[in-house]
Structure 1
């Protein structure tokens, strides 16, 4: 059998989700805690491999176990006692062996936060990109609407991304909201390319600063050319909100 975990983490101190040779990762922390609590070696698989510095409040992971603990709530408390304060297991459930957190996901939801004010915010410094110049929110709202639906998102993939079978993705939701100086871009899609959200946000910031018109977002999308998009926004503004099944 498998255990399905819903995991939250503040990604500042980590080199991303996946185990890396050059620094701590969330996967490594969870596997160590699970091995201690379950008294058996484990390998944890996640719905999405977030990059260094990226946060999550709704990551989903699965782990095969030889024996299912009788008290899952006690296991959850044990895991949270064994992990650092910046990683927490919110929920544990039993699922069958066929469950694959990545392949069975219907969609994923990300949010990206921008702190748009002349002065930086000490409170948001780890969770929002500080953009001091005023941004035109109405222009940005118009620009993101071009991303809705099924498109080839090759223009927004990472420049160092390896070969992929397809760069076509279907965006189910794309919206920007403002709460005072805090801007939140929310996107839900059937899948994401490497750096896709951060490259969209980098382009969106250029629209907000008046460096591109709102129509440029569609033009970049249709170009399928990474060099036509804006710079990659920093990782700390990105949050994996939910994985839907």
Structure 2
């Protein structure tokens, strides 16, 4: 579940422009939204499951038990940061390094959550934060698209997130059980599966010419930052740069 934060801020600005206070579809939170989210996201969750198998294999090779690997996936639900954490795993465990790196990678979720604020502000904090726990890059993109279409299904994020959670934990367990029998998961192209998922999501989030400028700015800043700044901070910096551009273009 690699970062798509470069589009989060541009999508937030687009959402604010498309959804005004006067004509916003009332947001409801019910089982219809949960069901629609689950069924819509299930095919993508199955694809992401291949990445989960790869994580499970890597976790097993790093010395984690099946239960420990599954518990990490169940409580973190963030593929990119989990993979990085496993790559940094050593004896003794470099706790500070792992925590700082994971924090940098997952900061993008603050930007992604902000993009949903125009719709979620009418929901109770229990519903909002309960749903945000299950938010990943893939179901966030699907949820944003669903809300922008005017469906007003506030529980869509929860339902799609449950689909992601189920397949992510299950595939992690399978990978951890397979362990050394699978070998290097990159030999089977599993590591490229997530990239394909994000290409599809990026196409779905395309808003036409209005997306060109923030996307190019985010790309340029992320590429430069990845070469100059250690760690995964380029993810956040790319998203923030796109946000600044959108503010200057539309609120300046």
Determine if the TM-score, normalized by the shorter chain, exceeds 0.5. Answer: no
Q: TM-score, normalised by structure 1?
A: 0.27
Q: Greater relative contact order (Cα 8 A, min sep 6): structure 1 or 2?
A: 2
Name whichever structure is richer in strand by fraction: 1
Name whichever structure is richer in helix by fraction: 2
Q: TM-score, normalised by structure 2?
A: 0.26
